[in-house]
Structure 1
Amino acid sequence: MGNERYERRVGPEKGTALSDQVPHVLLIDDAPEDIRATLTLLRAQPWRVSVASEAHQGYQRALSLRPDLIVLDVHMPKMDGFSLCRLLREAPSTRQIPILFLSSANTPGERLEGLTLGGVDYIVKTSEPEEVLARIRIHLQLTWRQAPDSQPGLAELALESDQVVLRAAMRLIDQQLDDIPSLATIAQKVGTHEKRLSSIFREHLGTTVFGYIRDARLRRGQQLLAEGAMSVQDIAELVGFRSACNFTTAFRQRLGLTPSQFRQQTQGASGRGE
Structure 2
Amino acid sequence: MKPVNTPHILLIDDNLDDLAPLVTCLKSANMRVSLASVARKGYHLALALKPDLIVLDLYMPGMDGFSICRLLREEPKLNRTPIIFLSSTRQLDDRLTGLQLGSVDFVTKPYAAEEVLARIRIHLRLSSLQTAPEVHAADAIEPNDAQPHVDCDELLIRAATRLILENLAEPPSLDDLAKSVGTNQKRLLGVFRQRHGMTVFAYIRELRLQQAKHLLRGTQLPIDDIAASVGFSNSANFATAFKSHEGIPPREYRKSFQP
- Is the TM value for this pair above 0.5? yes
How many angstroms apart in 2 are the aligned matches of 1:92 and 1:129? 30
Alignment partner, residue 223 of structure 2:
232
How many angstroms apart in 2 are the aligned matches of 1:105 and 1:151? 36
Map residues 144-163 of structure 1 onto 2, 5 A cutoff. 144=128, 146-147=131-132, 149-153=143-147, 156-157=148-149, 159-163=150-154
SS in 1 for 2:162: helix
Matching of residue 126 in structure 1 with residue 110 in structure 2? yes
Q: Which residues of structure 2 form unaligned runs of 5+?
A: 134-142
How many angstroms apart in 1 are the aligned matches of 2:68 and 2:196? 23
Map residues 18-97 of structure 1 onto 2, 5 A cutoff. 18-19=3-4, 21-97=5-81
Alignment partner, residue 7 of structure 1:
none
SS in 2 for 1:49: strand
| Contact 1:68/1:144 (<8 A) preserved | no
User: Quick one: which amino acid aligns to residue 247 of structure 1?
Assistant: F
Distance change (3 Å), C-alpha of 1:75 and 1:152: farther
Matching of residue 172 in structure 1 with residue 166 in structure 2? no
- TM-score with structure 1 setting the length: 0.86
Alignment partner, residue 200 of structure 1:
191
Give a deviation string over 1:116-138, Cα, whole Å, max 9, x none.
11111111123432221111110
Aligned with residue 172 of structure 2, among 177, 181, 185: 181
How many angstroms apart in 2 are the aligned matches of 1:121 and 1:226? 40
User: Quick one: which amino acid aligns to residue 79 of structure 1?
Assistant: M
How many angstroms apart in 1 are the aligned matches of 2:10 and 2:88? 18
How many angstroms apart in 2 are the aligned matches of 1:207 and 1:230? 30
After the TM superposition, which parts of structure 1 deviate over 4 Å for at least 4 consecutive aligned residues?
A: none
Alignment partner, residue 138 of structure 2:
none
- TM-score with structure 2 setting the length: 0.91
How many angstroms apart in 2 are the aligned matches of 1:129 and 1:82? 23
How many angstroms apart in 2 are the aligned matches of 1:248 and 1:73? 46
How many angstroms apart in 2 are the aligned matches of 1:39 and 1:244? 57
Alignment partner, residue 212 of structure 2:
221
Following superposition, the deviation at residue 225 of structure 1 comes to 1.4
Matching of residue 103 in structure 1 with residue 97 in structure 2? no
Following superposition, the deviation at residue 252 of structure 1 comes to 0.8
| Contact 1:103/1:123 (<8 A) preserved | yes
User: Quick one: which amino acid aligns to residue 132 of structure 2?
Assistant: A
User: Quick one: which amino acid aligns to residue 170 of structure 2?
Assistant: D
SS in 2 for 1:202: helix
Identity among equivalent pairs (%): 47
| Contact 1:217/1:240 (<8 A) preserved | yes
Question: What is the total number of aligned residue pairs between the two structures?
Answer: 249
Q: Which residues of structure 1 form unaligned runs of 5+?
A: 1-10, 13-17
Alignment partner, residue 255 of structure 2:
264
- Higher mean C-alpha deviation, range 80-89 or range 37-46: 37-46
| Contact 1:23/1:144 (<8 A) preserved | no
